[in-house]
Amino acid sequence: MKNKYMMNRLIKTGTFTGRMLLVLLFINPAVIAQNKEQKRIDSLKMAAASKTDDTSKVNALSKLAFDLGVNDPQQALNYGEAAIKLAQKLKWPKGEANGLANTGYVYLQLSEYAKAIQHQEKALKIFEKIKYEYGMSRCYIIMANAYNYLSDHTKAMEYQKKALKIGEKTNDKIMIRTCLLGLGLICETLSDYPQAVEYFEKALRISEEKSDSLGIGLANGNLGIIFYDLADYPRAVMYMEKALEVFEELGDKQRIGKMLLNVGNTYHALADDSKALVYYEKSLKIMEELGNKYTVALCLSAIGNIYDEQHEYAKALEYYERSLKIGEETHDKRDIGLNMNSIANVYIDQKLYGKALEYQKKSLKIFQEIDDKRGTAIALNGLSLIYQRMSDYPKALGYANKALTLAREIGVLETQREALQFISETSEKMGQSKKALEYYKMYITFRDSIINEKNTKKTIQTHMQYEFDKKESLAKAEQQKKDILALKELQKQKLLKYSFLGGIGLVLLLFFFIYRSYSARQELRLHDIRNRIAGDLHDDIGSTLNSISIYSEVARKNDEHHDEALQMIGDASRKIIEAMSDIVWTINAENDSFEKIIFRMKSLTYNLFRAKQIEYTFQADEILNEKKLSLEERRNFYLIFKEAVNNLVKYARATRVAITLTYENKQIRLRIQDNGVGFDTAQDTAGNGLKNIKRRAQEMKAEFVIESKIGEGTQIELTLKA
């Protein structure tokens, strides 16, 4: 059911990703270890309970509002309002402005964006009057995040840049880093991924220059989210694990828990639900210990989502309801709306439409209260689907039309596509064939637009991957050169130090160091050659082919007669780009580990099988991560897998596929099984696919076996000594 998957997407990008980044940006960097944080909060509570009404008490109340804003927003609001009132009583403008800003931050956590902005505007006027630039910049950042949630990206960008300008003026590196991360987040929301990466990389460089570990972790985490959005899940995991490593060194459990949740989402996207559940459970445990109810609720929803997709409805409802209860305790209306929508979808799947209607209406009411237009549009589509299933077609049509109007207003293609589909289906059921056909054509147009958007993301991902690979290779080569120079200097010092050992000892020592230096140079030379070949392929050939593809597409769109030759040129260019991508990946020394091979195989299966709606499992022994293949073996192994999977998708007509990678008796065994139509292996195949697979298997001295019968599916096995 489409509506459910749209709401799951909203959980990831609207609530999960955005709110996670916001929390990362604003949690006090000084608050790292849990015991230190608790001691600090206890000390602040003692100061806030003082019977003496002075500026120290205002500061304590205001800081408590900020520090408790994530874990206990209702108590935080009480402290914030008390800080404002006491500051007004003492006629202390700066204290009043701080109280307003921190209280507005709490409203942001509660998804009450209008109140958050209102408080920041009041605080900003005071800060401007007293010319307190740091306070102004904090207001700008919080307002930028609020407007980003409200999809007013122009204002969000404007306020974030104002804060950055203050940071640059005062040379506040932490403020600059924070603003760059915020700007990257806005660009990520707008799907301007190259610009987002540029901002995040700038933040990373500044953090590295200042030895700002927290900034390094945040920048890596946000880069991971960019590649998650681009469906480049192996690279996403790589950056997220870098962030995890930093946060673990800092002992920062809050961010460890959030990053574990991110990694879990990435494995879920790779259809590796067993690993996803492991990361979700780890995150859940940490956040329950810390009392971070918001992230606990996210973990519960994520786990519920997995059980929902696996049709284990009782378990799904259990986790969704636990998450809903936390949302009600913390008064987080947006999360309440999301969970009610998820629960409604479970009841739809079970055909319990009365229950589904009850929760969907509640979800709609909440989204309307907080002016969440995207959530409102999705809830309206949900109601349309329920009434369609209940055969109440006039109501179904009415809600779908409302959803379409709102989705057009905010420019969300997927929600518009879904509304058009519901209108077309409902009109057909009402006997309005002409209207049904009209809206079906519009639905097809939007579906194609979404496919084009995904293809654009794929192109961006390919380009960015080349650029990142190139940068990483150059950086590693440069570091290796420095290491060799350092090694030579050390050798010289040792040579002088131990010269008194005599002629024989000196000769032996010199021979040893010369041999090591020669080996290191040879290794570096080979590494440079491989990276240079990969870079040349990308720079000289890849860019040319990509230009041909783009120019042919532009020419085809401008050609009134839609020349098929232009279409063929574009298709051929894209096929060559894909083939060259495999070659560049094979040559690149960074991909020598078997773990990288497995990640690329998973990415390929995810893209192909999800597109064809084929259910699949992918299991690989962890011991394989430690294995390495030669360049030729790695190339043939991956291309055999790719050929087999492509043939399966094209010809097998399968609905289920099982892929296993095992290591036993010093042999790597790849097995691919499907329940497709099968074929007669005794017949000579007309295509080259099977011949290519057998030829590659022979080249790598591997055993290849294929078993298939018409109507009974196909199984292939590739066995390689390692």
Report pLDDT for 576. Answer: 64
Point out the least confidently predicted range of 460-474, 491-505, 629-643: 460-474
Q: How far apart are CA 184 and CA 191, in angstroms?
A: 10
For 367, other C-beta atoms within 10 Å of its C-beta total 26
| Segment 382-412, tens digit of pLDDT | 999 999 999 999 999 999 999 989 888 877 7
CA atoms within 13 A on the CB side of 489: 6
53: pLDDT strictly greater than 70: yes
Look-up: residue for tokens 């990361």? 279
Q: How far apart are CA 554 and CA 642, in angstroms?
A: 30
Task: Give the chain's end-to-end CA distance (angstroms, integer).
Answer: 45
Q: How far apart are CA 199 and CA 180, in angstroms?
A: 5
30: pLDDT strictly greater than 70: no
Look-up: residue for tokens 């960097």? 29
635: pLDDT strictly greater than 90: no
Report pLDDT for 577. Answer: 59
Mean pLDDT of 589-596: 76
Point out the least confidently predicted range of 352-356, 484-488, 615-619: 484-488
Q: How far apart are CA 347 and CA 438, in angstroms?
A: 31
Q: Beta-strand (E) ranges in 554-595?
A: none
Q: How far apart are CA 271 and CA 247, in angstroms?
A: 26
Q: What is the 3-state secondary structure (H, E, C) of 418-458?
A: HHHHHHHHHHHHCCCHHHHHHHHHHHHHHHHHHHHHHHHHH
**DSSP code string of 459-528:** HHHHHHHHHHHHHHHHHHHHHHHHHHHHHHHHHHHHHHHTGGG-HHHHHHHHHHHHHHHHHHHHHHHHHH
Question: What are the CA-CA distances from residue 249 to residues 66, 177, 278, 368 (Å)?
Answer: 25, 20, 21, 43
Report pLDDT for 391. Answer: 93
Contact between 586 and 618 under an 8 Å Cβ cutoff? The reply is: no
pLDDT classification of 625: cutoffs 50, 70, 90: confident
Q: How far apart are CA 715 and CA 704, in angstroms?
A: 11
Q: Give me the residues paired with residue 181 across strands.
A: none
Report pLDDT for 231. Answer: 80
The rounded mean pLDDT for the chain is: 80
The percent of residues in the chain predicted with pLDDT above 90, rounded, is 40
pLDDT classification of 371: cutoffs 50, 70, 90: confident
Angle at 572 between CA 566 and CA 576, to 5 degrees: 145
The CA-based dihedral angle spanning residues 29, 33, 34, 37, taken in that order and rounded to the nearest 10 degrees: -50
681: pLDDT strictly greater than 50: yes
Look-up: residue for tokens 């495999």? 582
| Segment 405-447, tens digit of pLDDT | 988 887 777 788 888 888 888 988 898 888 888 888 887 876 7
Q: How far apart are CA 441 and CA 237, in angstroms?
A: 39
Reading across the β-sheet that carries 714-721, which strands appear in turn?
615-620, 656-664, 667-674, 714-721, 703-708
29: pLDDT strictly greater than 80: no
549: pLDDT strictly greater than 90: no
Tokens for 299, please give them. 């973990």
Q: Beta-strand (E) ranges in 581-655?
A: 615-620
Q: Which residue has the higher pLDDT, 630 or 318?
A: 318
Mean pLDDT of 343-372: 93
| Segment 255-308, tens digit of pLDDT | 999 999 999 998 898 888 899 999 999 999 999 998 888 889 999 999 999 999
Report pLDDT for 524. Answer: 56
Mean pLDDT of 560-577: 59
What are the extents of the domains in the chain?
Answer: 454-591, 592-722
Angle at 100 between CA 94 and CA 104, to 5 degrees: 145
Report pLDDT for 394. Answer: 93
Point out the least confidently predicted range of 100-114, 290-304, 675-689: 675-689
Helix (H, G, I), strand (E, B) or coil at 713: coil
| Segment 444-466, tens digit of pLDDT | 876 766 555 555 555 555 555 55
Q: How far apart are CA 584 and CA 577, in angstroms?
A: 10
Report pLDDT for 569. Answer: 63
Instruction: Write down the CATH superfamily of domain 592-722.
Output: Histidine kinase-like ATPase, C-terminal domain (3.30.565.10)
pLDDT classification of 358: cutoffs 50, 70, 90: very high
Report pLDDT for 554. Answer: 54
Q: How far apart are CA 569 and CA 555, in angstroms?
A: 11
How does DSSP classify residue 687?
S
